[in-house]
Structure 1
Amino acid sequence: MAEKPVLWLPRRVSDATVARARRDYEVILNEADTPGTADEIILMSASVDAMMPCHSEHFTAEVVSRLDPRLKIVANHSVGVDHCDLPALSAKGIAVTNTPDVLSDATAELAMLLMLGAARHAVRGDRLMRTGEWDSWSPSFMVGTQVTGARLGIVGMGRVGQAFAAKARGFDMEVHYFNRTRLSPDQENGAIYHESIDSLLPLAEFLSLHCPATPETVDLMNAERIAALPDGAVLVNSARGALVNENALLHAIETRKLAAAGLDCFKTEPGGNPNFATHENIFMLPHIGSATSKTRDAMGFRALDNLDAFFAGKTPRDLL
């Protein structure tokens, strides 16, 4: 009987994923569930045939240059692959896959939570209730921004962006979007296409980011672009922290250019930006867009599907 491929799981993925992995592979599981360091990745590459990392494991060009030839595939437990130097891995002959499709709805749900929470003062309201400080009411108390019927701008109309647009239509929002390529009419479903982000921004009472982090999109929302939004706009980012210039965002919050922001990702992760914490109109979550049981199982199974195909001599569905 042929020996099973050896698979390293540097993070504690779902129980269902671990059980299936152990059925078909010799699994080395990091029970401590701590991010794999560069040294650990390099060391483990001499002992395993495959790895299933998350975005917390960084395959930089320097790390990749020191990987052992035994490692044949990096099957990411994530959609984003900005933690991987893809050209370096390709040059090394290491296959790379990701897990698209399966987390779109969960992430779109979280983006909706961020938008609503930011618009309706969820942080301040929760604090008032938990501390017992709610002792008055008036017509001017806790007045937020109404979502229903507002103009929504979406930057990046991929799977998550389309799922978010579908949910926003339930609030009768007027959906505008910027994407590298225009969608087909059936995918647009009435959304209004903009050939440039510059024509989209002045219309976006709410702006939600759903594009990947690339060299071209780092600090996509800088001071100039934030200034182009309508006064009192709400900015939502459930994609990648690299997309937003955090100093520019803080300035816009402090000057009330932005009414609020909803953020699930930050330049520094874990940890976030401590300067945001003093502003109750910044509603924050710790990068949990895909964190539902259903989605975590689906992500793990999609990564294993890619591994199964690779070791069966087939092309993985999500080969990058």
Structure 2
Amino acid sequence: MTQPKTIYITRLLPEPVMTALRERYALVSEPLENQIPTGDDQRRGFAQAEAVICTLADPITDDLLAAAPRLKIVANYAVGYNNIDVAAATRRGIVVTNTPDVLTDATADLTWALLLAVARRMVEGDQWARSGQWPGWAPTQMLGTDVTGKTLGIIGMGRIGQAVALRAQGFRMPVLYASRRPCSPPPGVSTWVHRPIEDVLEQADFLSLHVPLSDTTRHLIGSRELAMMKPTAFLINTSRGPVIDEAALFAALREGTIAGAGLDVYEREPLITDGLEALPNVVLLPHLGSATQQVRIKMGMLCVENIAAVLAGRPPVNPVNRQG
């Protein structure tokens, strides 16, 4: 009887995914709820594994890959993959895959949840209602800002950026976007306008970031860019934390350079810049972009599918790097 292939999983995945993996493969170890693997854990796992499933929070370095003589594939449980030394993996003939498409709508939905929450002061209102101190309705109480008809600015018009822009139609919002190239809006949509990033910064009432993390996008939004925004504007980030200079953002929010922010990701995650949590004009979420049961299962099953293909000698479904 053929021995099952060996797989190392850095974090516990949703149960349907874990069941599929246990049925098909031999696990190096059983991941535990909320357990963060140590460097020693990773080295032991990589040394034995023919396939690895990792997350954005797991740095996959050249040294780690060098200690993995049997490894054929690293399946990243995310769309982004800057946590992996892809060049090193390619040199060693190791396939790297990701999980695009399946989390587009969930992340776009969460972007709008953040936008509406910060515009309408929902977190403040929830806290007040729960406190037992709310005295009842009053005409000047908890005034936020309109969303409908305002200008939505988007930086990065890939799958998620376009999904966010499409939802803006329901709020009758014109969309200005900055990206490397123009995109074609869906039929019947004429309100998407491709503009230089400076124009988007200056004109947007709500600015939403949807770029991958790279050397060119790290601190894409800093003091200079924040100063270009309207003092009434709001910044939303569901992409990657280091795209924003978090210290500069804290200063801009405290000083009134911009009106508010909604953040799902952070520059030094899980650490958050001291003081941000105390500002009333910020909504902070713990990286929930893809956090629906359905999406997290789909992400895991896509990892399973990529691993099955590579270990069977077939091309992966979602390759990040090309072999040969």
Is the pair's TM-score, using the shorter chain for normalization, greater than 0.5?
A: yes
Which has the larger displacement, 212-221 or 251-260? 251-260
Task: Determine if the alignment matches structure 1 residue 52 to structure 2 residue 50.
Answer: no
1:221 lines up with 2:232 in the alignment: no
Q: In structure 1, list runs of 5 or more residues that go unmatched.
A: none
- The residue identity in structure 2 corresponding to 1:74 is V
Deviations 1:270-294 (A, max 9, x none): 2323311110110010001101010
Residue identity in the other structure for 1:129: A
The CA distance in 2 between the partners of 1:273 and 1:168, in whole Å, is: 30
Tell me if 1:37 matches 2:26.
no
Partners of 2:123 and 2:16 lie apart in 1 by 35
The 1-side partners of 2:191 and 2:46 are apart by 46
Other structure's SS at 1:177 match: strand
Bigger mean CA offset, 251-260 vs 277-286: 251-260
Contact map agreement 1:156 1:177 (CA 8 A) in 2: yes
Q: 1:256 to 1:225 in 2, by over 3 A?
A: same
Q: CA deviation at 1:39?
A: 2.7
| Higher deviation after alignment, 35-44 or 262-271 | 35-44
Tell me the residue number matched to 1:230.
230
Query: What secondary structure is seen at the aligned counterpart in 1 of 2:93?
Result: coil
1:10/1:33 contact within 8 Å kept: no
Identical positions, percent: 37
User: Displaced runs of 4+ in structure 1, greater than 6 A?
Assistant: none
In 2 relative to 1, CA 2–76 (structure 1 residues): closer, same or farther, beyond 3 Å?
same
TM-score normalised by length of structure 2: 0.93
Name the structure 1 match of 2:23: 23
Secondary structure, aligned partner of 1:29: coil
Deviations 1:93-136 (A, max 9, x none): 21100000000111111111110111111221122112122125
Please tell me the residue identity of whatever aligns with 1:234. Answer: F
Summarize the Cα distance change of 1:284–1:187 in structure 2 as closer, same or farther, 3 Å threshold: farther
Tell which deviates more after alignment, 97-106 or 187-196.
187-196
> Is 1:170 paired with 2:180?
no
Structure 1 Cα separation of the partners of residues 258 and 153 of structure 2: 15
1: CA distance between counterparts of 2:315 and 2:195?
Answer: 35
Q: Determine whether 1:143 maps to 2:140.
A: no
In 2, Cα distance between equivalents of 1:18 and 1:164: 31
SS at match of 1:45: helix
> Alignment length, in residue pairs?
319
Q: Alpha-carbon deviation of 1:81?
A: 0.7
In the alignment, which residue of structure 2 is the partner of 1:210? 210
TM-score by length of 1: 0.95
The equivalences for 1:256-271 within 5 A come to 256-271=256-271
Partner Cα separation in structure 2 for residue 3 and residue 189 of structure 1: 55
SS at match of 2:54: coil
- Distance in 1 (alpha carbons) for counterparts of 2:286 and 2:57: 13
Q: Out of 130-139 and 268-277, give the one that drifted further.
A: 130-139
Distance 2:49 2:126 in 1: 47
Q: Which residue of 2 aligns with 1:111?
A: 111
What secondary structure sits across from 1:74 in the alignment? strand
Which region of structure 1 is more displaced relative to structure 2, 122-131 or 218-227? 122-131
SS of the residue 1:99 aligns to: coil
Separation in structure 1 between the aligned mates of residue 253 and residue 310 of structure 2, nearest angstrom: 48
The alpha-carbon distance between structure 1 residues 280 and 213, as it changes in their structure 2 partners (threshold 3 A), is same
Task: Please name the residue that 1:184 is paired with.
Answer: 184
Larger displacement relative to structure 2 (183-192 or 34-43) = 183-192
One-letter code of the match for 1:9?
I
Q: Is the 8 A contact 1:203 1:230 kept in 2?
A: yes
Q: CA deviation at 1:137?
A: 4.5
List aligned pairs for 1:68-147, cutoff 5 A.
Answer: 68-135=68-135, 137-147=137-147
Is the deviation greater in 270-279 or in 158-167? Answer: 270-279
